[in-house]
Amino acid sequence: MIVTVTPNPSLDRTLELPRLERGEVARSHTTHAHPGGKGVNVARALARHEHAALALLPSGGSAGSELAQLLSACGVTTTTVPSQAPTRSNITLVESDGTATKINEPGPALIPAESDALCDAVDTALDRSPQWLVAAGSLPDGAPEELYSRFARIAAEHDVPIALDTSGETLRAAAQRGGFDLIKPNHEELQELAGRELPTVGEVVTAARHIIRRGNGVILATLGSHGVLRVTAEESQWAGGAVRSPRSTVGAGDCALAGYLAGDHPPRERLRHAAAWGRAAVELPGTTVPGPADVDTAAVDVRTDLPPTLPIKEL
């Protein structure tokens, strides 16, 4: 089993429309509602592959109830921590050429008692000795800045490895404190952390090793349409494959992380699964997560011999 914790979940609403004109009325022809938030998506992708997943999240108001119902319909076991304020809804507008505009609400503030209840829920869930704890997404207002490091300490006490996927200052602070067995930044997040552009493979690897030296394990850098790079202190490997018809990139990184963590494969095969699950997610609408029939591991190339000077955009 894999446990995920998402302090700022969302009800993800996707509206498909022909074209978006700023300042004009746009009419959507298709809409989707999915349970969202990065850890929630990891749990959904695992459940679609019949991998046991337990999702921990705060939930408030009617959006929170709808989110919990949708999650249980996906086969995800859920533990919710009641929150006073209603769960957020995040909107994605997808134009017919595939351009997606995403609008994320900040999310309801977590009061200290709710953050503590989430930590207690993590502690209880880890008594079940899962294979991983995945801590993912932004932190809502009011959540302590070091919440992810608290989760890392609880995971260490239970001897459960922890994977982190977050962004901005939350990522910087957590990465600097160390204690994460895996961190999954995307290219932009890694550049923001490094404080400069990282246009080549060598520069991405160097930035990833900088994070590792702070006391973290593997860096799984998702590079959008340019594949996934796995970096440890000693080695780096890349996997990727062309996407036939992109529909929505929302949640593709979460699916890549789920693909990496699922199953009991050697690192090279984990990486292949990460790239295959991420690529499959991009070919599905909204935050739909791929199932086994969508994932084509044979279409993914894995390489260990990438020249450091190779530009990421050529991958």
Q: Which residues bind ligand F1X (CB under 6 A)?
A: 8, 10, 12, 36-38, 41, 90, 104, 137-138, 167, 250-251, 253-254, 287
Beta carbon of residue 263, minimum distance to ligand F1X (angstroms, whole number): 21
Measured from the CB atom, the residue of 115 and 200 that comes closer to ligand F1X is 115
Least Å from the CB of residue 150 to ligand F1X: 18
Q: Given 123, 254, 296, 305, which residue is catalytic? A: 254
The answer to whether 296 is a known catalytic residue is no
Residues 6+ positions from 43 with CB-CB distance below 8 Å:
2, 4, 53, 54, 55, 71, 76, 134, 258
Q: For strands 10-17 and 2-5, give the pairing.
A: unpaired
Q: What is the DSSP letter of 289?
A: P
Residue 12 or 114: the one with the smaller Cβ distance to ligand F1X is: 12
Residue in the structure block whose two tokens are 């494959």? 241
Own/partner contacts of 214-218, CB < 8 Å, gap of 24 or more, are: 214/175, 214/176, 214/177, 214/178, 215/177, 215/178, 215/179, 216/175, 216/178, 216/179, 216/180, 216/181, 216/182, 216/183, 217/161, 217/180, 217/181, 217/182, 217/183, 218/181, 218/182, 218/183, 218/267
Residue number of the CB atom closest to ligand F1X: 36
Question: Which is nearer to ligand F1X, 36 or 259 (by Cβ)?
Answer: 36
Tell me the closest approach of the beta carbon of residue 198 to ligand F1X, in angstroms. 20
> How far apart are CB 80 and ligand F1X at their closest, in Å?
17
Residue with Cβ nearer ligand F1X (144 or 202): 144
Residues composing the chain:
315
Catalytic site positions: 254
